[in-house]
Amino acid sequence: MNGTGRYAIESGSMSVFYGSFCAVRDVDMRVPTNKITAIIGPSGCGKSTVLRCFNRMNDLITNVRIEGEVLFQGQNIYDDSVDPVEVRRRIGMVFQKANPFPKTIYENVAWGTRINGFRGDMDEMVEKALRSAALWDEVKDKLQQSALGLSGGQQQRLCIARAIAVEPEIILMDEPASALDPIATLRIEDLMKELSEKYTIIVVTHNMQQAARISDFTAFFSVDENRTGNLIEFDETEKIFTNPSQKSTEDYITGRFG
């Protein structure tokens, strides 16, 4: 388990190519353990690409090549000896659009642990995950109903429950609240704060106020003239939003350039 290391994940000179196109170049980023790290930057700067590299989600895209290394507990997750499925269990992901399985609420949570060979009390595990995702009180009386009947915000929290059911160490979130109304968004944000006590969270967001509200650290990415993404600045969120070191960070977060 993590929690002992200062950094949950570290990338070293990580570059991502789609064919000959370099989408992101030379990212050196150390993500502190049990903190929320936000990744912000203009469209096309490679935020989601970087996020997907952290649990080998890019493997699923053809013609992608990753250089450099991504260390998780001291091991490069791109080593040949590493099983990407195991990586994705320990480093979970929540997507922009809630994507529950067309099954019952219960099954959505139980499914991941079942295929991972979970042998304990399944009811207890499902309740624990739903409670952790701040959804239990709303669904406890309809666990056998279809997950597709839940509201958008509830579906997203169900996806978070599904992600934490398999007890990952890191949760990656790609615009987890961008499709939700403001109230549902605040619930997700509160939930992220609570979850960060147990998990390391890395969140990609277009919403700078959201990054400022919820994250402990912020990574600002920008895009150069070749449309290649670069990590411009990584620092404590408070520093980034009150006194960033780089002019381009300042220009972006003050909304002077887009």
Partner 1 sequence: MGQLLRTSFARELETLQTDTLMLGSMVIQALKESVDALRRRDMDVARHLIKEDEIINRKRFEIEADCLRLIATQQPMAGDLRLIAAVLEISTELERIGDYAKGIGRIILLIGTEVLIKPLVDIPKMCDIATEMLQQSLDAFLHQDLEAARTIPLRDDEVDDLYNRVHRDLIEMILEDTSLIDRCNYLLWAAHNLERAADRVSNICERIIFTVTGEFFEFDMN
Which residue ranges make up the site for partner 1 (CB under 8 A)?
42, 208-209, 212, 222, 240-244, 248-258
Q: How far is the CB of 243 from partner 1 (least distance, A)?
A: 3
Measured in degrees and rounded to the nearest 5, phi and psi for residue 47 equal -55, -55
Instruction: At 231, list the tokens.
Output: 């990590």
Instruction: At 88, list the tokens.
Output: 């994705």
* Nearest to partner 1 of 8, 177 (CB atom): 177
Number of other CB atoms surrounding residue 185 within 10 Å: 18
* Nearest to partner 1 of 53, 208 (CB atom): 208
* Nearest to partner 1 of 13, 243 (CB atom): 243
Q: How far is the CB of 12 from partner 1 (least distance, A)?
A: 27
What residue ranges in 59-110 does DSSP mark as E strands?
64-72, 75-76, 91-94
3-state secondary structure of 18: strand
* Nearest to partner 1 of 53, 212 (CB atom): 212
Q: How far, in Å, are 1, 27, 123, 167, 199 from residue 113 at the CA level?
A: 17, 33, 12, 9, 18
Q: First CA to last CA across the chain, in angstroms?
A: 40
- Residue partners of 35: CB distance under 8 A and separation at least 6: 196, 200, 201, 215, 216, 217
Q: How far is the CB of 84 from partner 1 (least distance, A)?
A: 35
Q: Residues 128, 166: contact at Cβ < 8 Å?
A: no
Q: How far is the CB of 27 from partner 1 (least distance, A)?
A: 19
* Nearest to partner 1 of 151, 243 (CB atom): 243
* Nearest to partner 1 of 73, 248 (CB atom): 248
* Nearest to partner 1 of 54, 252 (CB atom): 252
Q: How far is the CB of 191 from partner 1 (least distance, A)?
A: 22
What residue ranges in 186-239 does DSSP mark as E strands?
200-204, 217-223, 229-236
Number of other CB atoms surrounding residue 110 within 10 Å: 21
Q: How far is the CB of 85 from partner 1 (least distance, A)?
A: 39
Q: How far is the CB of 234 from partner 1 (least distance, A)?
A: 16
Instruction: At 111, list the tokens.
Output: 């499914």
**Of residues 182, 177, 167, the one with CA closest to residue 86:** 167
